[in-house]
């Protein structure tokens, strides 16, 4: 990003980030370094792992030399769509980027988060592993940022007020989506996508703006969706990836000992977040359907609808005929090349009509 472009972005973003500019730095202090981190979505289990790492494990591992405070970006008044710009400018030295929120402006970066791409966590892991070098290069070249971790949220499944047994039953319904590819997926089913922030799902559904919502099974439970919906369709439509990145200038200023500690320990935090997402995918179904393993306050009375082979074939068909072509139209040749190099070998689908 050029200096003139950074200045223009700074002027455009100033109303939203003046407070951050004053307090989100990572300065050296008399008793060591204090890092200020913008983490992922507050109120979900994955964020609890972030809090524990930065506020407890980092000081312990460094014998108190390095400390940190963390705030979820969605409770800090920070526009998630501008997180890449804020980190690039150094306004936010360490921040979490939800790929669904930046896919509109930077679709090539969010290719592994495409709806319909990964029907299970094993395939998601393969997609992220294959695409990770490309993400690292893009972040370095375009955003003066370094990728420290790729986080994942639980499988994005469907909560509905009215009964449904099959994926095709979404036809004609208003469905909450969090990104463009989910929107393409829902339209291909004959449903109406309604873009809704996570924190607004409950109020929008209670007001009648949506009839169904795509979100994590446990995340939706935490919001209270189990109290106002009746069916949980458990097929993963996608997962919700997030990147944890650091501004390159901030990184260069860190002491070598801090760099080494983060390089060795943040991958372990990443692994714990992935393990939590996998557990929550199953635990969310248990809680929403009233399983005794869940605490009473979180037990719902929902009916779990389990996908069959026809639903899986439909997911793959929608990916090939609607989601992938729609993504390529928005992104162009950059995404075509990246997809064909990194992800086509995993899926057997080539983009751009190339042989």
Burial class (CB in 10 A: 0-12, 13-18, 19+), 86: buried
Please give the pLDDT value at position 76. Answer: 85
Whether residue 140 is found in the same domain as residue 273: yes
Q: Tell me how far apart the alpha carbons of residues 102 and 99 are, in angstroms, rounded to a whole number.
A: 5
Residues 61 and 179 placed together within one structural domain of the fold: no
- With a cut of 90, say whether residue 232 has pLDDT above it: yes
* Residue 286 is assigned to a structural domain of this protein: no
Residue identified by tokens 């890092």 is: 35
Question: What's the mean pLDDT in 99-110?
Answer: 91
Q: Which of 119, 40, 46 is nearest to 276 (CA)?
A: 46
Helix, strand, or coil (residue 140): helix
| Statement to judge: residues 260 and 118 lie in one domain | yes
Q: Which tens digit of pLDDT belongs to each residue from 264-322?
A: 999 999 999 999 999 999 999 999 999 999 999 899 999 999 999 999 999 999 999 99
Within a domain: residue 287? Answer: no
The answer to the question of residue 355 being in a domain is no
User: Is there a domain that residue 289 lies in?
Assistant: no
Alpha-carbon span 72 to 148, nearest angstrom: 17
Same domain for 163 and 40, yes or no, is no
Please check whether residues 62 and 118 belong to one and the same domain. Answer: yes
Specify the number of domains making up the chain: 2
Specify the CATH number for the domain of residue 176. Answer: 3.40.190.170
Residue-number span of the structural domain to which 125 is assigned: 3-153+240-280
In this structure, the answer to whether residues 128 and 219 fall within a common structural domain is: no
Indicate whether this model's pTM tops 0.75. Answer: yes
Q: Does residue 64 lie within any of the structural domains?
A: yes
Q: What is the pLDDT of residue 353?
A: 56
Whether the pLDDT of residue 9 is over 60: the answer is no
- 125 and 100 assigned to the same domain: yes
Residue 288 covered by a domain = no
Same domain, 268 and 136: yes
DSSP line for 63-109: TTSEEEEEEEGGGTT--GGGHHHHHHHTSSSEEEEEHHHHTTT-GGG
Same domain, 207 and 106: no
61 belongs to a structural domain: yes
């Amino acid at each position: 990003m050029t200096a003139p472009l950074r200045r223009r972005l700074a002027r455009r973003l100033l109303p939203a980030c003046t407070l951050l500019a004053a307090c989100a730095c990572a300065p050296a202090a008399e008793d060591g370094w204090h890092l200020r981190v913008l983490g992922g979505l507050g109120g979900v289990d994955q964020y609890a792992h972030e809090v524990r790492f930065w506020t407890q494990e980092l000081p312990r591992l460094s014998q108190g030399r390095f400390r940190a405070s963390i705030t979820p970006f969605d409770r800090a008044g920070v526009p998630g769509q501008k997180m890449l710009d804020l980190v690039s400018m150094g306004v936010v030295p360490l921040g979490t980027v939800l790929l669904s929120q930046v896919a509109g402006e930077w679709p090539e970066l969010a290719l592994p988060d495409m709806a319909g791409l990964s029907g299970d966590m094993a395939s998601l892991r393969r997609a992220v592993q294959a695409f990770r070098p490309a993400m690292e290069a893009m972040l370095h070249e375009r955003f003066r940022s370094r990728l420290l971790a790729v986080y994942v949220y639980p499988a994005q499944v469907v909560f509905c007020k009215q009964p449904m047994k099959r994926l095709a039953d979404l036809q004609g319904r208003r469905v909450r989506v969090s990104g463009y590819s989910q929107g393409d997926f829902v339209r291909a089913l004959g449903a109406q996508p309604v873009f809704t922030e996570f924190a607004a799902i409950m109020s929008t559904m209670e007001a009648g703006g949506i009839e169904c919502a795509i979100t994590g099974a446990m995340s939706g439970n935490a919001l209270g969706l189990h109290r106002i919906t009746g069916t949980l369709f458990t097929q993963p439509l996608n997962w919700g990836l997030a990147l944890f990145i650091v501004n390159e200038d901030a990184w260069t200023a860190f002491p070598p000992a801090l760099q080494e500690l983060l390089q060795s320990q943040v991958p372990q935090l990443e692994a714990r977040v992935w393990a939590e997402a996998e557990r929550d995918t199953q635990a969310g179904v248990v809680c929403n359907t009233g399983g005794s393993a869940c605490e009473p306050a979180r037990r719902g009375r929902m009916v779990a609808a389990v996908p069959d082979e026809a639903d899986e074939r439909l997911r793959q068909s929608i990916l090939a005929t609607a989601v992938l072509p729609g993504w390529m139209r928005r992104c162009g040749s950059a995404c075509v090349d990246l997809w064909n190099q990194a992800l086509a070998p995993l899926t057997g689908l080539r983009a751009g009509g190339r042989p």
